[in-house]
Structure 1
Amino acid sequence: MQKMTVQWMETHQASLYLVGLALGACAGLLLPAAAGPAEAAILPVLALLLYVTFLGVPFGRFGPAIRDWRFVMTILVVNFLAVPVVVWVLSRIVADDQVLLVGVLFVLLTPCIDYVIVFAGLAGGDEQRLLAATPLLMLGQMLLLPLHLWLFVGAEFVAAVEFAPFVEAFVLIILIPLAAAALTQCAARTRAGRVVVQTATGAMVPLMVATLAVVVASQVAGVGAQLGSLLRVIPVYILFAAVMVPIGMAAGRLGGVDTAGRRAIVFSGVTRNSLVVLPLVLALPAEFDLAPLVVVTQTLVELLVMVVLIVLIPRLIPGRRR
Structure 2
Amino acid sequence: MIAWANRWQIPLYLAGMLVGGAIGLAVPGSGAGLDALVTPALIVLLFATFLAAPFAELGRAFRDLRFLAAVLVLNFVFVPVLVFGLSRFVTHNQALLVGVLLVLLSPCIDYVVVFTRLAGGSASRLLAVSPVLMLAQLALLPVFLSVMAGPGVVGSIDMAPFVGAFLLFIVLPVGLAALTQWLGRRVRAARAVERTMDASMVPLLALTLAVIVGAQIDVVRTHVAELLVIAPLYVAFLVVAPVLGILVARMFRQDVAAVRATVLSGSTRNSLVVLPLALALPEPMALASAAVVTQTLVELVGMIALVRVVPRLVVSRGENAGLGALPSPRTRRRRYADPQ
Task: Verify the 8 A CA contact 2:219 2:293 in the aligned structure 1.
Answer: no
**Runs of 5+ unmatched residues, structure 1:** none
Q: Tell me by how many angstroms 1:243 deviates.
A: 0.6
Report the alpha carbon displacement of residue 157 of structure 1 after superposing the two structures with TM.
1.5
5+ long unaligned stretches in structure 2:
320-334
Residue deviations 1:22-58 (CA, integer Å, cap 9, x gap): 1111111111311001011101100111011110110
Within a 5 Å distance, the mapping from 1:1-322 to structure 2 comes to: 5-189=1-185, 190-319=187-316, 320=319, 322=339
Percent of counterpart pairs with the same letter? 48
For 2:182 and 2:276, how far apart are their aligned partners in 1? Answer: 34
TM-score normalised over the length of structure 1: 0.97
Equivalent AA in structure 2 for residue 261 of structure 1 = A
Paired with 2:77 and 2:145, the residues of 1 have a C-alpha distance of: 15
Counterpart amino acid of residue 135 in structure 1: P
Q: Aligned equivalents of 1:7 and 1:251: distance in 2? A: 36
Cα displacement string for residues 264-294 of structure 1 (whole angstroms, at most 9, x for unaligned residues)? 1110000000000000110000111111110
Name the CA distance, whole Å, in 1 between partners of 2:2 and 2:119.
17
Cα distance, 1:250 vs. partner? 1.1
User: Cα deviation per residue 1:55-84 (whole Å; 9 max; x = unaligned)?
Assistant: 011001111101111111001100000011
Alpha-carbon distance in 1 for matches of 2:91, 2:238: 19
How far, CA to CA, are the matches of 2:257 and 2:26 in structure 1? 41
Counterpart residue type for residue 82 of structure 1: F
- Contact 1:14-1:310 within 8 A present in 2 as well: no
2:213–2:297 CA contact under 8 A, matched in 1? yes
In structure 2, how many angstroms separate the alpha carbons of the residues matched to 1:224 and 1:317? Answer: 37
Residue identity opposite 2:118 in structure 1: L
* 2:324 counterpart residue number: none
Cα shift at 1:118? 0.1
TM-score, reference length from structure 2: 0.92
Q: Aligned partners of 1:7 and 1:245: how far apart in 2?
A: 30
